[in-house]
């Protein structure tokens, strides 16, 4: 098998078809599906709604090849199991007939016009579907509830380290930047500004994070990853971005706006949090740093998906001069929010 940079490696999900997905799930979990497969709006992974012949509904997740290792995804599943034992409301992946939650699909993909063949390895999991509605906090009690839920998650998160997952620190921000530069995705006339802005952001990030503890995080704890289930209350979903980092990472994404405009909501979140866990208030200095980090993370995320068929339908101007002009302006504005 070739491991060269081929179309298959750059756009692996082009090789997943509805029939292949259905057959793979049926074989792995011993269930019989109806001919019902509908995609969820996920770009990093591929997520599908399924229904079996008994009308039971599932969610199948196919992880993007090359993004996470088997060990890293297994650590996510282990964290979910620990959270359930700690009575934190999350959704566990279903085990197969041997009790294994993480499955593997291997495909031999041929490069068009050549005899080159690439082995694509997809890891996938099956979850029970949780029906409910998005959670939009409207009252003080709702914001307190969000803080309590984050703290409940962190009680378990502090019991061990995420040994194989990403550490949200300035070095990771540096790696994202260097990848974008190495792949020559930043136009030449924007490189100097991009480097100087990110250099200053990393300097502030290092200063603000010095001496702070880290723990296992959800990593993408925004309201879109919370479901108000009819029979379970609030349920946390999608731990794909599980990481090691400061506790405030799982708080700031809940806020409706920048820190300067969200002080009231933040204080309510912290009040709810303190009912379960102590919070190091010095971490609040990291909120706008982590927002900058997320902006560069998002750029890197987009760059890794730009070969997929659907990418430019959703991001038609990605990589253009206008795109980078706005990106540099946005990064500069965010640097000012950090105090840079």
Q: Which residues are identified as catalytic?
A: 220, 238
What does residue 190 show for φ and ψ, rounded to 5 degrees?
-110, -5
Contact indicator for 93, 81 with CB cutoff of 8 Å:
no
Q: Using alpha carbons, select from 67, 69, 76 the residue that is nearest to residue 45.
A: 67
293 Cβ contact list (under 8 Å, min separation 6): 168, 172, 173, 201, 205
By the 10 Å C-beta count (0-12 exposed, 13-18 middle, 19+ buried), 115 is classed as exposed
Residue with tokens 């998160």: 157
Burial 188-213 (b: 16+ CB within 10 A, else e): eeeeebbeebbebbbebbeebbeeee
Which residue's structure tokens are 């409940």?
152
Cβ neighbours of 62 (radius 10 Å) = 22
β-bridge partners, 47: 61
Q: What are the residues facing 124 on neighbouring strands? A: 62, 103
Query: Taking Cα atoms as reference points, which of 113, 283, 278, 270 lies closest to residue 212?
Result: 283
Angle (nearest 5°) at CA 291 between 290 and 297: 85
Alpha carbon of 326 to those of 182, 216, 317, 319, 322: distances in Å? 21, 34, 11, 11, 6
Give the number of C-alpha atoms closer than 13 A to the C-alpha of residue 337, restricted to the C-beta side. Answer: 20
100 φ/ψ angles, rounded to the nearest 5 degrees: -100, 130
94 and 101 in contact (C-beta within 8 Å)? Answer: yes
């Amino acid at each position: 098998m070739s491991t060269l940079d081929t179309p298959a490696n750059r756009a692996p999900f082009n090789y997943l078809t509805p029939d292949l997905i259905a057959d793979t799930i049926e074989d792995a979990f011993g269930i019989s599906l109806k001919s019902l497969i509908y995609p969820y709006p996920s770009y990093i992974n591929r997520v599908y709604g399924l229904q079996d012949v008994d009308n039971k509904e599932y969610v199948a997740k196919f992880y993007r090849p090359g993004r996470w290792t088997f060990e890293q995804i297994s650590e996510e599943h282990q964290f979910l199991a620990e959270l359930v034992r700690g009575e934190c409301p999350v959704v566990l992946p279903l085990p197969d007939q041997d009790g294994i939650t993480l499955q593997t699909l291997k495909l031999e993909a041929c490069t068009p016009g050549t005899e080159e063949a690439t082995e694509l390895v997809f890891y996938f999991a099956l979850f029970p579907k949780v029906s409910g509605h998005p959670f939009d906090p409207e009252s003080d009690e709702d914001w307190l509830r969000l803080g309590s839920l984050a703290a409940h998650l962190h009680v378990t998160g502090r019991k061990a380290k995420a040994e194989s997952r990403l550490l949200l620190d300035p070095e990771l921000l540096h790696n994202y930047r260097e990848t974008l530069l190495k792949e020559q995705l930043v136009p030449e006339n924007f490189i100097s500004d991009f480097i100087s802005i990110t250099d200053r952001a990393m300097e502030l990030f290092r200063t603000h994070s010095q001496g702070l503890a880290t723990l296992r995080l959800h990593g993408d704890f925004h309201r879109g990853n919370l479901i108000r289930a009819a029979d379970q209350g609030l349920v946390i979903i999608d731990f794909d971005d599980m990481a090691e980092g400061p506790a405030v990472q799982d708080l700031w994404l809940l806020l409706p706006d920048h820190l300067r405009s969200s002080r009231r909501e933040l204080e309510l979140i912290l009040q709810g949090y303190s009912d379960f866990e102590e919070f190091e208030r010095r971490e609040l200095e990291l909120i706008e740093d982590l927002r900058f980090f997320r902006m560069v993370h998002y750029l890197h995320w987009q760059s890794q998906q730009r070969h997929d068929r659907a990418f430019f339908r959703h991001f038609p101007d990605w990589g253009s001069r206008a795109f980078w002009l706005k990106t540099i302006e946005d990064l500069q504005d965010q640097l000012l929010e950090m105090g840079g």
